[in-house]
Amino acid sequence: MNVHAIRAIYRFEMARTFRTLTESLASPVLTTSLYFIVFGAAIGSRMGDIDGVSYGAFIIPGLIMLALLNESISNASFGIYMPKWSGTIYELLSAPVSFVEVVLGYVGAAATKSLMIGALILITARFFVPYEIVHPGWMLFFLVLTAVSFSLFGFLIGLWASDWQQLQVIPLMIVTPLTFLGGAFYSIQMLPPMWQTLSLFNPVVYLISGMRWAFYGVADVNVLISAGMILGFLTACLAAVWWIFRTGWKLRS
């Protein structure tokens, strides 16, 4: 294991984050704060409790997942696309560095940034609504696995994308709508029966449900099923990354 290579890639990516603190950290936290103001204070004060949880507190897991998914994908896809766009990826491919070390460096840095944002959102939420975490171990499980899995997914998007527009297509057109329709601001039990069934085909439902269970002990889906879904997605992303580096698809052309 080339630890020096992993450390170099990781430190380079993290240094880029700290050079752009406003965009990398402050912007997601500010956006989430606006959600708390609009949905938690303005709308939440007019709504009753959901499953015994105040509406302002109920949306915290969904907002964390919304930020975590978007930031994980964005950080990882941009991190690997830049070397492709500038041509420096060929230096990386010709260096004595295995694909495992490349993935650990880029995905590790992207996941670290996402976890930092998740922690900041948790701290920010304290200023708006009181909340408790019933199962902190499960919360860390879902936080870390989601950050790593979607950083890997973002890494795949960065490898696949041929231009800057393609880099934004999947996050904007697929991931964000699935997150809003995945129960971030409501329980799917509030939907008509047909829409409840259709919602179960949305993979984000399982992530938000698992995170909400970790916070309050209430969920739309069994927590073990949620854990299985995120582990399955992680495995699929790992298999896809292995295949790309093995075949050189989108890397050598």
Model pTM score: 0.90
Burial per residue of 128-159, b for 16 or more beta-carbon CB atoms within 10 angstroms, e otherwise: bbebeeebeebbebbbebbbbbbbbbbbbbbb
Position 38 scores a pLDDT of 77
Average pLDDT over residues 46-74: 86
Give Cα separations from 192 to 197, 198, 199 (angstroms).
9, 10, 11
- Which two three-digit tokens encode residue 156? 């795949």
Average pLDDT over residues 205-219: 93
Write the pLDDT tens digit of every residue in 77-129.
Answer: 998 998 888 888 888 878 888 889 999 999 999 999 999 999 988 988 888 88
- Which two three-digit tokens encode residue 34? 């606006």
Write the pLDDT tens digit of every residue in 75-89.
Answer: 999 989 988 888 888
- Lowest-pLDDT range, 31-35, 55-59, 188-192, 224-228? 31-35
Closest CA to 107 of 156, 73, 63, 151: 151
Distance from C-alpha of 11 to C-alpha of 17, rounded to nearest angstrom: 10
Write the pLDDT tens digit of every residue in 155-206.
Answer: 999 999 888 888 888 988 899 899 888 888 888 988 898 988 999 999 999 9
Q: Letter for the amino acid at 180? A: F
Report phi then psi at 101, rounded to 5: -70, -35
Distance from C-alpha of 239 to C-alpha of 179, rounded to nearest angstrom: 24
Report phi then psi at 148, rounded to 5: -70, -45
Position 17 scores a pLDDT of 79
Q: Letter for the amino acid at 133? A: I
Mean pLDDT of the chain: 88
Write the pLDDT tens digit of every residue in 23-49.
Answer: 777 777 788 788 877 776 667 667 777
Distance from C-alpha of 126 to C-alpha of 131, rounded to nearest angstrom: 7
Q: Letter for the amino acid at 24? A: S
Give Cα separations from 142 to 17, 124, 145 (angstroms).
23, 19, 5
Residue percentage of the chain with pLDDT more than 70:
95
Position 92 scores a pLDDT of 83
- Which two three-digit tokens encode residue 27? 């912007």
